Amino acid sequence: MYTGFKSIPLNIFQAFSLAIGGYIWDLPGIGHYIWGPFYTIFLIIGLIIFQWVETDPDFEALRAKYGRKNL
């Protein structure tokens, strides 16, 4: 689950790579061969950004902060 402003660049890179991936995949004869290196560029960028995205929040701290049982 990606939430907050910090995850927007990650979502943009994922959406961009998915959108142009279909065009590259359909190139006659070479689409399959150039898709791997092209995708790797976006994967590396996404992984670099992913270092700052909190994917596993501290639920105990959230319960203490907001006082709710169902977090």
pLDDT of residue 49: 86
What domain range is 33 assigned to? 5-66
Q: Is residue 13 one of the residues assigned to a domain?
A: yes
Q: Is residue 35 one of the residues assigned to a domain?
A: yes
Taking 70 as the pLDDT cut, the residues of the chain under it are 1-4, 68-71
> Cβ–Cβ contacts within 10 Å for residue 44, how many?
11
Q: What is the pTM of this model?
A: 0.42
For residues 67 and 49, give the distance between their C-alpha atoms in angstroms, rounded to a whole number: 31
pLDDT of residue 70: 58
Q: Is residue 61 one of the residues assigned to a domain?
A: yes
Q: Is residue 71 one of the residues assigned to a domain?
A: no
For residues 71 and 41, give the distance between their C-alpha atoms in angstroms, rounded to a whole number: 36
Q: Is residue 16 one of the residues assigned to a domain?
A: yes
The amino acid at 70 = N
For residues 34 and 5, give the distance between their C-alpha atoms in angstroms, rounded to a whole number: 32
Domain count, the chain: 1
